[in-house]
Amino acid sequence: MRQEIMSFSNKQVEYIFDGSFEVFIKTLEKEKVVIVTDDNVFKLHQEKFEGYASIQVPAGEDFKQQRTVDDIISQLLQLQADKQTVLVAVGGGVVTDMAGYAASIYKRGIKLVQVPTSVLGMVDAAIGGKNGVDVGPFKNMVGTVYQPDFLLFDYSFLNTLPDEEWVNGFAEIIKHACIKDAEFFSFLSSKSLNDFKNDPLLLAALIEKNVAIKTGIVLKDEFETGDRKLLNFGHTIGHAIENVHNLSHGHAISIGMVAASKISQEINHFDSASTQKIVDLLQHYQLPISLSFDKENIWEMLLMDKKRNNDSMSFILLESIGSAVV
């Protein structure tokens, strides 16, 4: 186990790498803990939650809506949760997003522990304080920036992760390499998905590398006025595709990164050989690179993108592998 303190604008967050959920939860006052998880995680890990108040939400992106957060808050009221309550989110990105949002608005903010259980959650969704819900088909339209008090990485949760969710998480891992670290990109090219699944030390190093990349960006620009926008590489088109075609987040972002790389070729002198390297790496990790889609529907989604400002929209382009610009 390794601990590290990260100082954000209004809170110090304790990162706990290679920790144990069972050990950590015992350090909290039992009567003050409320666990938020989804149906799938609860079924797989029910024994870890015994003896603690818990709130279960339906699993899946379709339920990442305000009504689910309202239900979390209603159950907190029934449990007589107060300002000393610690909300412990245990799940993938949907759970950590909704629980973080609920913690930020319940009684104007209560303590929050994020325990991501998926690759995507560990390398991206649970890091940086962004949380919220979708509004109909539009992604993350309502939410807050609210840092947790603790961020616990218990890699044992990945033992029950389905294969498709491993693949889903690698889209964000490859994104980090594309925008910030050419050497890391080469490293990923030399490994395979099975290498990480079968080597706990290699997996731990991979998670920590991605946490360092994203946290480093967020520490410099917590509220997305500059560098944090780079984390949206592949997401502008990707989110629109995700909305229209109901793809998983990782699959949609993979296709979005290919599109953004090709646009970078056209207007930012990004070389075609590098685009091909990105395509090859995405395919190497079993991610899709193209999709036939309805351009009119995609355009309608782009017009509602939360990154749009008046008649302009920030779009992330690559200068080279490992270097991106807004």
- 242 pLDDT band (50/70/90 cuts)? confident
Which of 103, 127, 160 is a domain's end point? 160
Total domain count for the chain? 2
- In this structure, the answer to whether residues 66 and 203 fall within a common structural domain is no
d(CA 102, CA 96): 10
Number of alpha carbons in the 13 Å side-chain half-sphere of residue 28:
24
Both tokens of 32, joined, read: 């003050």
**Same domain? 142 vs 257:** no
Q: Which residue has the tokens 């995609």?
A: 298
Phi and psi of 130, rounded to 5°? -70, 140
- What integer pLDDT is reported at residue 142 of this predicted model? 97
pLDDT at 296 over 80: no
Q: How far apart are CA 100 and CA 113, in angstroms?
A: 9
Is the pLDDT score of 303 beyond 70? no
In a shared domain, residues 111 and 229: no
Instruction: Give the span between the Cα atoms of 108 and 129, in whole angstroms.
Output: 16
**Are 167 and 286 within 8 A, CB to CB?**
yes
CB proximity list for 136: less than 8 A, separation 6 or greater: none
pLDDT bin (cut points 50, 70, 90) of residue 243 is confident
Question: Which residues lie closer than 8 Å to 287 by C-beta, 6 or more apart?
Answer: 167, 170, 171, 174, 250, 251, 254
CATH number reported for the structural domain that contains residue 254 in this entry: 1.20.1090.10
Looking at residue 314, what is its pLDDT? 73
- Highest mean pLDDT (candidates 199-213, 226-240, 308-322): 199-213
Are 221 and 261 contained in the same domain? yes
Q: Which residue has the tokens 């592998």?
A: 321
Strands 53-57 and 111-116: unpaired
Q: What are phi and psi of 218, to 5 degrees?
A: -65, -40
Q: Structural domain of residue 110, as residue ranges?
A: 2-160
Name the domain boundary from 160, 190, 220: 160
Q: Are residues 31 and 129 in the same domain?
A: yes
Q: Tokens in use for 215?
A: 């946290």
Report the relative pairing of strands 86-91 and 33-38 from DSSP bridges. parallel
Closest CA to 251 of 239, 265, 236: 239
> Does 174 reside within a domain?
no
In a domain, 166, yes or no: no
Query: What is the model's pTM?
Result: 0.93
CA distance 214 to 67: 30
The Cα 225–Cα 243 span in angstroms is 25
Q: Are 321 and 274 in contact (CB under 8 A)?
A: yes
**Whether residue 203 sits in one domain with residue 276:** yes
Site of tokens 């998880």: 37
The mean pLDDT of 189-216, rounded to a whole number, is 98
Q: How far apart are CA 63 and CA 95, in angstroms?
A: 10
Tens of pLDDT, residue by residue over 132-158, are 999 988 889 999 999 999 999 999 999
Question: Is residue 271 within 8 Å of residue 265, measured between CB atoms?
Answer: yes
Same domain, 106 and 54: yes
pLDDT digits (tens, 9 = 90+) for 11-39: 999 999 999 999 999 999 999 999 999 99
Across 187-196, average pLDDT: 98
My answer on whether 76 and 214 are in the same domain is no
Q: What percent of the chain has pLDDT over 90?
A: 86
Task: Decide if 169 is inside a domain.
Answer: no
Of the candidates 207, 4, 197, 58, the residue with the CA atom closest to the CA atom of residue 121: 207
Query: Between vectors from CA 17 to CA 12 and to CA 23, what angle results, nearest 5°?
Result: 95
pLDDT at 309: 58
Cβ atoms of 261 and 270 within 8 Å: the answer is: yes
* End-of-domain residue from the set 104, 129, 160: 160
Report which DSSP code applies to 123: I
Reported as a single tens digit per residue, the pLDDT across 69-102 is 999 999 999 999 999 999 999 999 999 999 999 9
Report if residue 172 sits inside a domain.
Answer: no
Is residue 104 located within the same domain as residue 226? no
Nearest-angstrom CA–CA distance, 142 and 138 = 10
Does 252 share its domain with 317?
Answer: yes
- The answer to whether position 173 is within a domain reads no
Could you tell me if 154 and 183 lie in one domain?
no
- Is 168 part of any domain? no
| 70 and 135 assigned to the same domain | yes
| In the block, residue with structure tokens 């990164």 | 257
